[in-house]
């Protein structure tokens, strides 16, 4: 039902530039592919699956995790999301697991020739669910922390061929291949065929050939661009992790300077929805990445309050999709106090904002005592970088949390949570 193609720098779904089918949409948005990182969509863990019985779930159920994502896709589509990235080897639960190598989330045999039937079933269900929703699945093959589970370079080549043939044999028309997630990571040092530019471009050509001609790309770390990798790509994939708006703009400008006439898609950045302004201004596609709501299994795949809602609304507004206005005072959300998002007495507290550009700073108060000030989006209390924060440990005497939002227009808004 859904086929993806490219014409120059624009995406077409079923032969029509994306978003052109929406009455009243902004023509400047036509041909873009706004997306989100739903990397754990087929996740499982053979090593310690019971540790993912959490966040309101009494047991870990890989099949149910995928089914919940399929069920959530139409809601995202209604807000303008047209693609998502899912990883065959998943991603890192950065908030709760210190060593991701302890997770066994790998569908390939050690020699790369076999493909686990459970993963195959979930991936097929997810791609077909995306197809029914009018969406595209960006299928990412390789992830650094799972790389050692492939025993050598030949096994890597086999794994790329195995996954590509699976997609070919499925007859899917709504897939883009990402051969590796951030191929230049140090975690791939044991597989030079992935980490080196010469090796990854070889694997990209292999994926295109073995998949029967599907669109292919490969990402690097935040702020990374390489002309040779871009030249081997049908879709130029970039990541904005850790970048300021200026640095992200500079990354887009670098990719455009190659003058290859191909779509530029960020498929991993942060919950910083202000980056959408850069994307729409440069007519490039942007990818929302929320570690906490969308990369900690089992994820809540719906548009959850706070950051998810604000991204969805900013995305819709840039496309020209009309949504009912928010109630007065709802453009800020004091995030991290939801009942099913704590773990081992830890919370990840931050202030989500519909228009972070309006915020000068956020002061945080605990039981009447000011404990921290945040100046940069996404206004984490313990800011590490744009996509990760440190936890707040719950205390027995916790009574009240307060966020004082100092806007650039001089107004002060308060959000209070009693615990």
Query: What pLDDT does 220 receive?
Result: 98
CA distance 80 to 136: 12
Out of 295, 319, 343, pick the residue that ends a domain: 319
The count of structural domains within the chain is: 2
Contacts of 83 (CB under 8 A, 6+ apart): 33, 34, 35, 36, 135, 136, 137, 138, 176, 265, 267, 285
182 within a domain of the structure (yes/no): yes
- CB-based contacts of 62: which residues, under 8 Å, 6+ apart? 42, 43, 44, 49, 118, 122
pTM of the model: 0.98
Same domain, 309 and 341: no
Shared domain check, 197 and 87: yes
Contact between 245 and 266 under an 8 Å Cβ cutoff? The reply is no
**Do 343 and 216 belong together in one domain?**
no
295 and 347 fall within a common domain: no
73 part of a folded domain:
yes
Q: Return the SS3 of 385.
A: strand
Report if residue 140 sits inside a domain.
yes
Look at residues 264, 292, 319 and tell me which one is the last residue of a structural domain.
319
- SS3 at position 373: strand
pLDDT recorded at residue 15? 98
Residue 214, domain member (yes or no): yes
Q: Which of 160, 191, 413, 121 is nearest to 129 (CA)?
A: 121
> Is residue 315 domain-shared with residue 391, that is, in the same domain?
no
Report pLDDT for 215. 98
Residue 324 belongs to some domain of the structure: no
Co-location of 375 and 267 in the same domain:
no
Q: How far is CA 356 from the centre of its chain?
A: 20
Query: Side by side, which strands form the sheet with 287-288?
Result: 215-217, 175-180, 136-142, 83-87, 35-37, 287-288
Residues 136 and 65 in one domain: yes
Instruction: Give, in order, the Cα–Cα distances in Å from 372 to each of 124, 242, 364, 367.
Output: 46, 21, 5, 13
Residue 233: how many CA atoms within 13 Å on its side-chain side?
31
Length of the chain: 419
In a domain, 72, yes or no: yes
Name the nearest CA neighbour of 11 among 315, 204, 178, 236: 236
Tell me the HSE value of 190 on the side-chain side, using a 13 A CA sphere.
Answer: 13
DSSP string, 307-357: HHHHHHHHHHHHHT---PPPPTTTTEEEES--TTS-BTTEE--EEEES-GG
The verdict on 236 and 375 lying in the same domain is no
Q: By residue range, what is the domain housing residue 108?
A: 4-319
Count of alpha carbons within 13 angstroms of residue 325, beta-carbon side: 3
Cβ atoms of 107 and 62 closer than 8 Å = no
Do 82 and 177 reside in the same domain of the chain? yes
> Which residues are 236's β-sheet partners?
264
CA distances from 102 to 46, 51, 97, 98, 205 (A): 10, 11, 9, 9, 31
Low-confidence ranges of the chain (pLDDT < 70): none
pLDDT score, position 341: 87
Question: Do 218 and 283 belong together in one domain?
Answer: yes
Helix ranges (DSSP H) in 171-244 = 192-195, 197-210, 227-231
Residues 282 and 403 occupy one common structural domain: no
**Hey, what's the torsion of the CAs at 50, 100, 343, 287, to 10 degrees?**
-110
Q: What CATH code is carried by the domain that includes residue 70?
A: 3.20.20.80
Q: How far apart are CA 417 and CA 400, in angstroms?
A: 6
**Phi, psi dihedral angles at 343 (to 5 degrees):** -155, 125
pLDDT at 339: 86
Asked, for residue 327, whether it belongs to a domain, the answer is no
Extract the tokens encoding 2: 């859904």
Domain boundary among 250, 285, 319: 319
In a domain, 76, yes or no: yes
The CATH number of the domain holding residue 350 is: 2.60.40
271 and 396 belong to one structural domain: no
The pLDDT value given to residue 64: 98
């Amino acid at each position: 039902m859904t086929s993806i193609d490219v014409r120059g720098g624009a995406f077409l779904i079923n032969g029509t530039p994306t978003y052109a089918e929406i009455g009243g949409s902004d023509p400047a948005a036509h041909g873009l592919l706004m997306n989100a990182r739903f990397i754990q969509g087929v996740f499982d863990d053979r090593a310690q699956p019971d540790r993912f019985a959490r966040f309101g779930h009494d047991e870990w159920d890989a099949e149910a995790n995928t089914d919940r994502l399929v069920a959530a896709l139409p809601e995202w589509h209604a807000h303008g999301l047209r693609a998502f990235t899912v990883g065959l080897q998943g991603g890192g639960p950065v908030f709760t697991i210190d060593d991701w190598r302890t997770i066994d989330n790998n569908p390939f045999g050690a020699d790369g020739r076999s493909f686990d039937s459970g993963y195959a079933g979930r991936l097929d269900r997810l791609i077909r669910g995306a197809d029914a929703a009018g969406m595209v699945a960006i299928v990412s093959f390789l992830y650094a922390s799972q790389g050692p589970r492939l025993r050598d370079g030949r096994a890597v080549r086999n794994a790329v061929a195995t996954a590509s043939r699976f997609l070919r044999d499925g007859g899917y028309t709504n897939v883009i291949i990402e051969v590796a997630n951030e191929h230049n990571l140090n975690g791939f040092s044991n597989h030079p065929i992935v980490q080196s530019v010469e090796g990854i471009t070889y694997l990209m050509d292999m994926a295109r050939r073995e998949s029967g001609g599907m669109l292919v790309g490969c990402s690097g770390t935040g702020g990374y661009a390489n002309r040779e990798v871009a030249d081997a790509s049908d879709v130029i994939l970039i990541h904005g992790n850790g970048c300021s708006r200026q640095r992200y703009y500079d990354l887009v400008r670098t990719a455009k300077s190659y003058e290859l006439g191909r779509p530029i898609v960020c498929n991993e950045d942060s919950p910083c929805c202000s980056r959408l302004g850069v994307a729409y201004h440069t007519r490039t596609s942007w990818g929302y990445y929320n570690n906490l709501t969308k990369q900690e299994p089992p994820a809540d795949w719906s548009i959850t309050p706070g950051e998810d809602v604000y991204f969805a609304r900013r995305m819709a507004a840039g496309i020209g999709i009309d949504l009912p206005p928010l109630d007065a005072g709802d453009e800020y959300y004091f995030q991290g106090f939801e009942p099913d998002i704590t773990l081992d007495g830890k919370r990840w507290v931050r202030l989500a904002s519909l228009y972070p550009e309006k915020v000068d700073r956020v002061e945080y108060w605990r039981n009447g005592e000011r404990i921290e000030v945040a100046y940069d989006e996404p206004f984490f209390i313990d800011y590490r970088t744009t996509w990760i924060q440190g936890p707040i440990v719950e205390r027995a005497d916790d009574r009240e949390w307060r966020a004082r939002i100092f806007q650039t227009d001089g107004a002060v808004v308060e959000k209070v949570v009693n615990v």
